[in-house]
Amino acid sequence: MYDSETTARLEADAAEVVARYPEHPRSALLPLLHLVQSVDGYVSADGIAFCAKVLDLSTAEVSAVATFYTQYKRHPNGTYTVGVCTNTLCAVMGGDAIWSELTDHLGIGNDETTEDGSITLERVECNAACDYAPVVMVNWEFFDNQTPQSAVELVDALKAGEPVRPSRGADQVVTFRETSRVLAGFLDGHADEGPAAGEATLAGLRLARERGWSAPGADDADTAASKES
């Protein structure tokens, strides 16, 4: 059971979330699950019950949704979720070596948490940063172009409580609970931090600028640039 203060805060936040979906309150369920995850550090039985109450669903219906999605954790999660992409491209490019090194170094396996509660390790699927492979995510922030060595340094810094900067994200990785709160739709003031893009993202643009290439002007519509289809 949540204490009265937590309940009051949750109810206020939940009302804000539900208000985004006036046509269909149940649409609020995914953000509400991120919200309760931000309070408990995982989706607990209390969290499930809370969501069920807000949306007038059964706890079974809420659990059915909570168990479908990989980001909802059903047992207490570490302060940092370290996800190593081991889908084909990242794996081949070094992701498997990174996974091997990290499981060895931390002494835990997939979806397991270190004794001190700092890190939960997991294998993640393609996170849409293939041009930065091999990729590691920490609380869903990008750590691009990783090696086994850089990954070990990364987790050591996390365990030591040192600030850690993503490749393309906020100035510092925030905690798992704080991340979950953002995913529930609450901005945390860090949107303007970090770069617009990394080098790979800009590769084509840089080349185009170098070679003086541009899109046709609006009045080039008559240019017969079509190839035979």
For another protein, the binding residues in 130-149 under the rule CB under 8 A are: 130-134, 137, 139-142, 145-149
Using CB atoms within 10 Å of the CB of residue 56, give its burial: 0 to 12 exposed, 13 to 18 middle, 19+ buried: exposed
Window 194-223: contact mask with another protein (x via CB under 8 A): x-xxxxxxxxxxxxxx-x-xxxx-x-xxxx
> Could you tell me the two tokens for 181?
């709160």
What DSSP assignment string belongs to 121-174?
EEEE---S-GGG-S-EEETTEEE-S--HHHHHHHHHHHHTT-----SBS-SSPP
Contacts of 126 (CB under 8 A, 6+ apart): 85, 87, 89, 90
Residue of 6, 16, 49, 71 interacting with another protein (CB under 8 A)? 71
* CA torsion, ordered 69, 71, 77, 83, to nearest 10 deg: 130
Nearer to another protein, 8 or 153 (CB): 153
Stretch that binds another protein, among 8-16, 67-75, 109-117, 155-163 (CB under 8 A): 67-75
Residue of 109, 125, 156, 172 interacting with another protein (CB under 8 A)? 125
Minimum CB separation of residue 123 from another protein in Å reads 9
Nearer to another protein, 112 or 131 (CB): 131
List binders of another protein among 159-188 (CB under 8 A): 166, 168-170, 179, 182-185, 187-188
192 lines the binding site for another protein (CB under 8 A): yes
